[in-house]
Amino acid sequence: MNSSTLKVVTATAMALAAAVAQPARAAVDPARAQALFDEAARLCHGDGGALWHHSLCGPILLVDWADNTAVANQVDAGGVLKPAGKMFAGALPPDVLIANTPVKWSGRRWTEMIWPLPDDVAHRRVMVSHELFHRAQHELDLPMGDGGNLHLDTLEGRVLLQLEWRALARALVEPEGAGRNAAISDALLFRHERYRLFVDARAEEHALELNEGVAEYTGVRVGLPTARERTAYALRDLEAFVQAPSFVRSFAYATGPAWGLLLDKADAAWRDRLAAAAKAGRAQGLDDMLQAALKLPEPAAAGLKAREADYDDTLRPREQARDQARQAHLAELKARLVDGPVLRLPLAHLHASYQFNPQTLEALGSDGVVYPTMTLSADWGTLNVEQGALLDKAMSGAAVSASGVSADHLAGPGWRLSLNKGWTVVAGERSGDFVVRREDESH
């Protein structure tokens, strides 16, 4: 996963609570870590730079979430990590983001991954290859944005996305020819209906899909050796992410491999075209590229209802029931994080990093997005959240409930704030509100 501003910890990221007594002894199991480094080397050397005309090999950090201890396959330029057999071990400073993400630290750009990695072989290899791609992504000039995609938390957005997933799954298993093209046309129909209903959908979906979706496709292509295994994993992604509480940021992990594998069959040069277009600042979406490769006409919107019924006539009633419960839940969140007293924390023009589970986000329309759990760090310090924080759509500020806030203003319902020197909490404009500010701006 990657973003220029958002750093995401996936649901598979788990902490390993162990300490390192000496710099050269790693909290992670040394034998398993070395096996992981060897596996990563086999994967990137096996690709040999063929997929993107660029090697995915490079520095890797495996980090213990609990105490920042780490092992690496290379020494850092600053010499913080010390030799430990074939590896290098030590502790990262507290200001280094801990996530499954590329990170610049101590003179190198690393593929950073949280220990332990999944035991499932296919899942682990796809994940490692996905993260190796993200480290090389900026060198390829491929898009690294995210997009808001809040429309994917609406009733129509969710229904149409799940229908697209079903159509993509059908296309993946259909033999080449009319049947596959018909299923792809259905996937385009459901996606283009989202584009029609939601004005920003095309740009926002493309932004995340060209970032996380292409990374997940790369993970599948590099991590798995056969076409059969790749198709099976793409189908697994399409099925697994249906269970995600929110599709806002997780959808591209499901769609990326599917659209990418279908493009492999339709246009072997599509990755070269994508890279060239990206360098020229005009990258196309994967759906647009596949439609052009197969010369498919614009799908007829008049047939939408019939196609929906063909894929799943029980989906909409289920989603309508879910949406009713969701609206009541969102009303409670709005009362707590928008209308009620809040502590506001600035993010605009500050260096900030975020650690969160992308499958749990909840959109509050124009008010922003609720992150049920997260760690938010910025110039002012660190906020640990366990019961919801609201980030506005522009990512310029965060808010947590100030109901029952502690006397020192550093804790409240489901959150705790650690302030850096030079920052303070002052009364906000509304009665009961508080705001984090620099001390020299607090009067």
The pLDDT-based confidence of 414 (bands split at 50, 70, 90) is very high
CA distance 443 to 438: 10
Q: Do 309 and 325 belong to one domain?
A: no
pLDDT at 4 over 60: no
Among 248, 4, 251, 17, which Cα is nearest to 143's? 4
Q: 366 in a domain, yes or no?
A: yes
The pLDDT confidence band at residue 442, using thresholds 50, 70 and 90, is low
Position 18 in a domain: no
Same domain, 305 and 240: yes
Query: Do the beta carbons of residue 187 and residue 167 sit within 8 Å?
Result: yes
Q: What is the SS3 string spanning the chain?
A: CCCCCCCCCCCCCCCCCCCCCCCCCCCCCHHHHHHHHHHHHHHHHHHCCCCCCCCCCCCEEEEECCCCEEEECCCCCCCCCEEECCEEEEECCCCCCCCCEEEEECCEEEEEEEECCCCCHHHHHHHHHHHHHHHHHHHHCCCCCCCCCHHHHCHHHHHHHHHHHHHHHHHHHCCCCHHHHHHHHHHHHHHHHHHHHCCCHHHHHHHHHHHHHHHHHHHHHHHCCCHHHHHHHHHHHHHHHHHCCCCCCCHHHHHHHHHHHHHHHHCCCHHHHHHHHHHCCCCCCHHHHHHHHHCCCCCCHHHHHHHHHHHCCCHHHHHHHHHHHHHHHHHHHHHHHHHCCEEEEECCCCCCEEEECHHHCEECHHHCEEECCEEEEECCEEEEECCCEEECCCCCEEEEECCCCCCCCCEECCEEEEECCCEEEEECCCCCCEEEEEHHHCC
Number of domains in the chain: 3
Please tell me whether residues 307 and 325 are part of one structural domain.
no
Q: Does residue 422 form part of some domain?
A: yes
Last residue of a domain, which of 262, 294, 313? 313
What pLDDT score was predicted for residue 27?
A: 64
In a domain, 16, yes or no: no
Write down the pLDDT at residue 3. Answer: 37
Between CA 417 and CA 420, with CA 418 as vertex, the angle to 5 degrees is 135
Using the 3D structure, point to which of 263, 281, 313 is the last residue of a domain. Answer: 313
Residue 186 lies inside a defined structural domain of this protein: yes
Q: Give the pLDDT mean for 327-355.
A: 93
My answer on whether 246 and 394 are in the same domain is: no
pLDDT tens figures, 186-244: 999 999 999 999 999 999 999 999 999 999 999 999 999 999 999 999 999 999 999 88
Within a domain: 49: yes
The answer on 208 and 136 residing in a single domain is: no
Q: Are residues 156 and 97 in the same domain?
A: no
Strand partners, 417: 383
**Where a domain ends, among 266, 294, 313?**
313
pLDDT tops 80 at residue 24 = no
Locate 192 and state its tokens: 């283009």
79-133 pLDDT per residue, tens: 999 999 999 999 999 888 888 999 999 999 999 999 999 999 999 999 999 999 9
User: Same structural domain for residues 160 and 293?
Assistant: yes
Same domain, 277 and 345: no
Full residue range of the structural domain in which residue 379 is found:
321-441
Please check whether residues 70 and 194 belong to one and the same domain: no
Shared domain check, 299 and 155: yes
Report if residue 23 sits inside a domain. no
Same domain as 286, residue 191: yes
Is there a single domain that holds both residue 198 and residue 326? no
Average pLDDT of every residue of the chain: 90
- On whether residue 381 sits in a domain, the answer given is yes
